[in-house]
Structure 1
Amino acid sequence: MNQDYIIPNNWSILEEGFDAERVEASESLFSLGNGAMGQRANFEENYSGSTFQGSYIAGIYYPDKTKVGWWKNGYPEYFAKVLNAPNWIGINVSINGEALDLHTCKDVKDYRREFNMKEGWYERSFTAIMPNELEVEVKVLRFLSLKRNELGAIKYELTVKNVDANIIFEPYLDSGITNEDANWEEKFWKTLEINTIADRGFITAKTFKTEFHATAFMQSRLFQDDREVKTGFSKIQENEKISFRYEVAAKKGEKVALQKFGGYVTDMNHQREQLVFAANNVLENAVSAGFETLLEEQKQAWAEIWEMADIAIQGDVKAQQGIRFNIFQLNQTYLGTDARLNIGPKGFTGEKYGGSTYWDTEAYCIPFYMATKNHEVARNLLTYRYNHLGRAIENAEKLGFTNGAALYPMVTMNGEESHNEWEITFEEIHRNGAMVVAIKRYVDYTGDFSYIPEKGLEVMIAIARFWQQRANYSTQKDKFVILGVTGPNEYENNVNNNWYTNYIAKWCIDYCVASIEKVKQEFASDYSRIIEKTGLSAEEVSNWKEVSEKMYFPYSEEYKVFLQQDNFLDKEIVPVSELSRAQRPINQKWSWDRILRSCYIKQADVLQGFYFFEDHFSKAELEKHFDFYEPLTVHESSLSPCVHSIQAAALGRMEQAYEFYLRTSRLDLDDYNNEVKEGCHITSMAGTWMSIVEGFGGMRIVDGKLSFNPRIPNGWEGYSFKLNFRDQILKINVAPEKTSFTLEGHDPLEIHVNGNVVKVEPSVPLTV
């Protein structure tokens, strides 16, 4: 049973009515972020019920020692953990001596949460009957500043409705925090010092092992009926906590408010000895600007993002809310301004999966950022991997590969592999191919081939070396085979000749060889530098070509399809439609042994190859493979529905495409997999964008030009989106009977629409 308490709305995520059972799920769904830091939607006041506390700083991690039953040679020594950072949002509240705690209140009425995605703020309001019979009305507004990304702000308003009251606010900083998912229940932070400057508090802490230093900070202002009150305060200092105590006498019905400014500065951006000084400057500027000015800045910053990134849907509120939630979370997680950062699978919404990047970034996220921001953002994501090339070579060396062969990590923070499930870490090697797919997508979309001679070719050579060494010649088949792998379908481990892995290996070699030749012809100095740096020889390239030309691909003559792996047809082939709902999801109901022996597919595998290399196959071949594999797919990966939605749309099956779209866009809002309390699926959200742009809009790059084959789901009155294509902004507006294109730029743009070439003139709408 999916959750259904999120109220449909075009621009907001809304929850009404307090239910302790869904607190943790809502903490994920209402999470805040600004690219540099983020936090789950934990209550500011103390809550003694079940809660998952989480505040996070981008780029800061801890190498949590691997927890395995027994050690295998080559295992990573640690799993990179996104760290729960010192808590700055806390505000303990007591009224007439009684602590405000929604878990112990006699009644909670008019409870409401709103996340206004258009303007980038989160609000929570309620009326509570406390154990001492006080009736208290509370409204809290919070945001993390996009413009000042080290800063967050809270406005906590409180009114006692039935009596005069003595109200105590205790805003605090707390560095005595732990991770929800620590392997060994260790603490990851060491508190170094606590400082105060007047009514400003600072806690400086460092991470164990990785030695990141961060200073959390706060300052508060008190208001009565919207007039600032200059009152005294007392300071309470503990080993890992600093609080300020503000006491105010309030008349019945009088509104009292505490404004709290807080956040983090880190040694990623400041000198360690200057952290408190830097934090003090952030507070000085924030208080000087004031809460309302900061909020207006926030609204403007989000307006600028939505101007380019929005997808507007007419006639389907749930679909509209879903896509905007996905676009909103992607922008909260990563804004592209820092090449050291990447897109974590949970962003700032939870700790599961650890790491700051998976292959999800290259396979799913780059198209979104490339089309909705400037192309430097996508280049930064590619540069992130180039900067980690040395570590990728080390990762391969640990497994016995030589000569500069590279294996990019399954999970990483700094380029070093930090994932520790053998069948994933060392068998799911297809991720190497996604690195090269991302480079080609960037070149095709932007027209900027220069990235390849500057950086990309070195990555491609190292990956081609890996594939040549990882394949081995089979005398029985007179072909090269790749043994002992896990494809994108993680419900098959240690299989031989996963078709997708073999195909992407061949393609990587071919694309690298073609790129070497182009660089040799057109970028002679770069070519010389790369050949000298890599030691590449003609003989080695010849060896690659032999592997590519003789790569083996399992195929069924009976079904006329490529097989997911050599022995796929040894399985009992029973479609998912014949599987009882009581058995789903199988990853929560079945043993791993049973899953591995079943025919059920977690996410697109062969079809992932048909998605990446669509132009290599005919529409008839896609249809044949889609009809064979999709009925066996349980879609228990967040990355699954989007690929199937795009392919269903390409086949003209719009009802099915829409069902998959709705599933990917509302995966977290409706909690399809009953796990949203662990955090949202950030990277798959980019797949939601692709479902509309590439699926319904049919957007492709053909011969260096944008191409569209627009379709529209039944019941939709229309939808529109924008693309930043080679520094020109094209708006596409699709209606049931026509599609219009509007160009913001200086030069005409030729595009393909339904197979025909048309020219769009600047500022002159073209209707097809």
Structure 2
Amino acid sequence: MNVLNNNHIINNPWLILKEGFNPLRERTIESILSFGNGYIGSRNSLEEYYTISEPTTYVAGIYENIPATNRNELARIPDWTRIQVFLDDNIIDLYDTKILEHKRYLDLKRGLVLREWKSQDSLGRITSIKTIKFISLDNKNTAFKSITIKPENYSGRLKVISGIDGNIIDSKILIPETLELNKPMMLGMETKEGDNLVVITQKSEFIQDNLEYNQKYSNKMVYEEWEWHGEYGKEYIINSLITVFTSLDYKNPIGASIQDTVTDYNNVLISQAESWTNYWNNADITIDNDEQAQRWVNFALYHLISTGKFSGNNNSIAARNLSGVSYQGHVFWDTEMYLLPFYTFTEPEIAKALLMYRYNTLQGARENARREGHKGACYAWESTDSGIEMTPTEVILPYGQIIHIYSGSNEIHISPDIAYAVWQYYQVTEDEDFLVNYGSEIIFETTRFSTGFLKKEDDNLYHIYDVVGPDEYHERIDDNAYTNLMTQHNLEIALKLINLLQEKYKDKYENLRDKINLQDSEISRWKEIKDKIYTGYNPETKIYEQFKGFFDLEYIDVKSYEPRTKPMDVILGRERVRNSQIIKQTDVLMFLFLLANKFSKDVIEANYNFYEQRTAHGSSLSPSIHSIIAARLGKLDQAYKYFEQNAQIDLDDKMGNAAGGIHMASIGGTWMSVVMGFAGIHIYDNGLLFDPHIPENWNNVKFSVNWHGQKINVQVRKDEITFKIIGNQSVNLCIGEDNWKELAPNNTYIAYKDQKWYWKD
């Protein structure tokens, strides 16, 4: 076995290339090169299968209960990517033959994964093999795989097995009583409780003289088998179309799979290319004069596009999407805080569908609150199909120590976070239908829950006790500034919403009040406490104390431990870190980003300077927020450093855990770093503000955003911004700090910087 350099990336920002074969890196590469459409997601495992691999395909929303933990996890389904090639009945693989060449590509522009390899057997016979796989962005139930085989220096007997393998899972496998030639093969799977059925079909095309063809079933696998005489130098191509249907979406998934069987292979390829082109035209970001940054952005956009297309309503985007086992396919606040801005600004229908998932799990959130003795809606820290909390209460470490987990019970900021996302979606889209009919119920019920924790003390202020903020190194703390300020924001938007509903939708407002039994006394209390919540702000230093007593903890110079390969709580121990000012991820800086319009630049800068040197970035959620704030403050060296750190979390496996799946928060954070950081977008109720600070080596950056249904094409240079408004309504934009202008549709506008920003006449 040859082990080659497996980390070479060619000079093309649209391709991610991995060369060679290193078994120790295989599971990481499978994650990095994963592919999907938001409904189906697959790791890019090697088609012939190896025990060092983790071939995994998930279908969004298909969970099964694990009795040992009583938690729902995404269910692995049979592997549709399986292909094996034989020469004279000897399998061609990466262990038993000499590897002359082995490359895998992720084609970001077209949504394809490709593989090229040449192997030489003990007789010196060289075989070239190429594969292409993709999951359709046009049809959520369809996938495609293709193999090309070429005998380079011989003629001989070739055999290909291609099928659907159920051996990788322990769920119940169902097969048809008979396999019929010239009809699609079918394999079924039942989840462990028997409440979900997944049906996978395969239909292939291979035209060849003197071909022996069979469909077979063996050991939980159905497969097609072709055998023929391969001629020296000739290429042989087998194309296969796959469909995946489930009882979650179809009453009769078997019937649906039969009716939907596609046989036009060329049309599937054409539709895939067209769909990706359309999405890139809408969401693309181009950076002039920084190829590395362009690759980072392309990689992030690829995963955002491929993950979002068919997500939402009854499912959402998991923290590791559909690319790996980490977090068991559970949905966290990552979706609303880090992913929703991209979809809201580029594909608002996807953003709406993701928020509808929160509406559709509102009953589960109410049940979570009720179990803890509270009113309203407590959204789960780890959520699945029902919205019921899935976070374990404790874990047992390998050496027997029991660690209590408080995020599910005490990290209550998740509810105001989701309310924030609902309001931000409304601000950007002006979608009053969603706000009135769905979002308002979320906002009122989360306000109800959040305000239930507020306790009035002798200082005449309201406090929140015994919580966990975003920084999970410090648990069960009092007056976490992030939690308190997001609770206050929850209150503010609830009261704004009441005014809107009373003014324009009085009947619907009264119906909603009746539905959720919202009393006048509750609303009066909301008004009374809104401006009396303790924040921990010190006007002399302009710094917010992360929580009560934080300033009294030991200061440890985090940067003196750089570079490091382990998190700080492992290096120093949990107790030492808990009693220090080392923080896992952005906490105070997180609300200074989310609620930036409430704070002056000098307050933001004072807190950035204080907390930046205390943050260990032990979470993938952290670097992008530092990049955004640093860019807005004009600290471009630091902004770019954190932009790079965030972008490399998966591409270069900087945290050492990419094998568990793509970190979607950092993926969304890459887009936010460019658009909301370097381009300086701020969201106001009455319009968008741009205050850009782009890296010195960037000539320009181009992108598009939607605002109130109008598309805005933006080009940012160091001292100039060009806006082109596409639509039928004017938009209100601000450049710099306070230079607002109403821009008419279908016109181009230029702003320039001469110490301050000005509009060009």
Normalized against structure 2, the TM-score is what?
0.92
Question: 1:470 aligns to what SS in structure 2?
Answer: coil
1:531-570 paired onto structure 2 within 5 Å = 531-555=513-537, 559-570=541-552
Q: Name the CA distance, whole Å, in 1 between partners of 2:479 and 2:497.
A: 26
- Does 2:259 align with 1:281? yes
Question: 2:73 aligns to what SS in structure 1?
Answer: strand
Aligned to 1:525: 507
Aligned to 1:181: none
Q: Name the CA distance, whole Å, in 2 between partners of 1:188 and 1:485.
A: 39
CA deviation digits over 1:200-251, x for unaligned, max 9? Answer: 310112112261111111122224xxxx447332343235222232111112
Q: How many residues align?
A: 734
CA deviation digits over 1:317-371, x for unaligned, max 9? Answer: 1100111111110111121565223111111211211234211121121111011
Q: Name the CA distance, whole Å, in 2 between partners of 1:612 and 1:300.
A: 36
Compute the displacement of 1:264 (Å): 0.9
Aligned to 2:191: 207
CA deviation digits over 1:655-676, x for unaligned, max 9? Answer: 2111111222232112111111
Which contiguous aligned blocks of 4+ residues in structure 1 show a shift greater than 6 angstroms? none
Preserved CA contact (<8 Å) 2:312 2:354: no
| Correspondent of 1:47 among 43, 46, 50 | 50
Equivalent AA in structure 2 for residue 60 of structure 1 = I
| Correspondent of 2:419 among 436, 448, 455 | 436
Q: Name the CA distance, whole Å, in 2 between partners of 1:449 and 1:271.
A: 33
Equivalent AA in structure 2 for residue 425 of structure 1 = G
1:25-424 paired onto structure 2 within 5 Å = 25-48=28-51, 50-65=52-67, 67=69, 78-105=70-97, 107-131=98-122, 133-178=124-169, 187-191=170-174, 193=176, 196-199=179-182, 200-209=184-193, 211-223=195-207, 228-229=208-209, 231-272=211-252, 275-283=253-261, 285=262, 287=263, 289-290=264-265, 292-335=266-309, 338-373=312-347, 375-402=348-375, 404-421=376-393, 422-424=405-407
Preserved CA contact (<8 Å) 1:11 1:118: yes
Question: 1:90 aligns to what SS in structure 2?
Answer: strand
Compute the displacement of 1:451 (Å): 3.0
Q: Name the CA distance, whole Å, in 1 between partners of 2:588 and 2:699.
A: 34
Preserved CA contact (<8 Å) 1:447 1:726: yes
Equivalent AA in structure 1 for residue 187 of structure 2 = I
Question: 2:271 aligns to what SS in structure 1?
Answer: helix
Compute the displacement of 1:588 (Å): 4.9
Equivalent AA in structure 1 for residue 625 of structure 2 = V
- Does 2:648 align with 1:675? no
Compute the displacement of 1:545 (Å): 3.8
Preserved CA contact (<8 Å) 1:388 1:415: yes
Preserved CA contact (<8 Å) 1:486 1:492: yes
Runs of 5+ unmatched residues, structure 1: 68-77, 179-186
Question: 1:343 aligns to what SS in structure 2?
Answer: coil
Equivalent AA in structure 2 for residue 643 of structure 1 = I
CA deviation digits over 1:368-425, x for unaligned, max 9? Answer: 101111x3332222222122111111111111124x4544443322211112143111
- Does 2:748 align with 1:765? yes
Aligned to 1:17: 20
Question: 2:113 aligns to what SS in structure 1?
Answer: strand
Higher relative contact order (CA 8 A, sep 6+): 1
Question: 2:240 aligns to what SS in structure 1?
Answer: strand
Preserved CA contact (<8 Å) 1:195 1:203: no
Q: Name the CA distance, whole Å, in 1 between partners of 2:157 and 2:377.
A: 69
Aligned to 2:401: none
Q: 1:577 to 1:202 in 2, by over 3 A?
A: same
Aligned to 1:651: 633
| Correspondent of 1:448 among 420, 431, 438 | 431
Equivalent AA in structure 1 for residue 331 of structure 2 = T
Compute the displacement of 1:683 (Å): 3.3
Q: Name the CA distance, whole Å, in 2 between partners of 1:238 and 1:301.
A: 37
Compute the displacement of 1:582 (Å): 4.5
Runs of 5+ unmatched residues, structure 2: 394-404, 752-761
Preserved CA contact (<8 Å) 1:159 1:254: yes
Q: 1:175 to 1:588 in 2, by over 3 A?
A: farther
Q: Name the CA distance, whole Å, in 2 between partners of 1:461 and 1:138.
A: 58
Compute the displacement of 1:153 (Å): 1.3
- Does 2:674 align with 1:692? yes
Equivalent AA in structure 2 for residue 470 of structure 1 = F
Compute the displacement of 1:116 (Å): 1.4
Q: Name the CA distance, whole Å, in 2 between partners of 1:355 and 1:84.
A: 10
Compute the displacement of 1:618 (Å): 0.8
Normalized against structure 1, the TM-score is what?
0.91
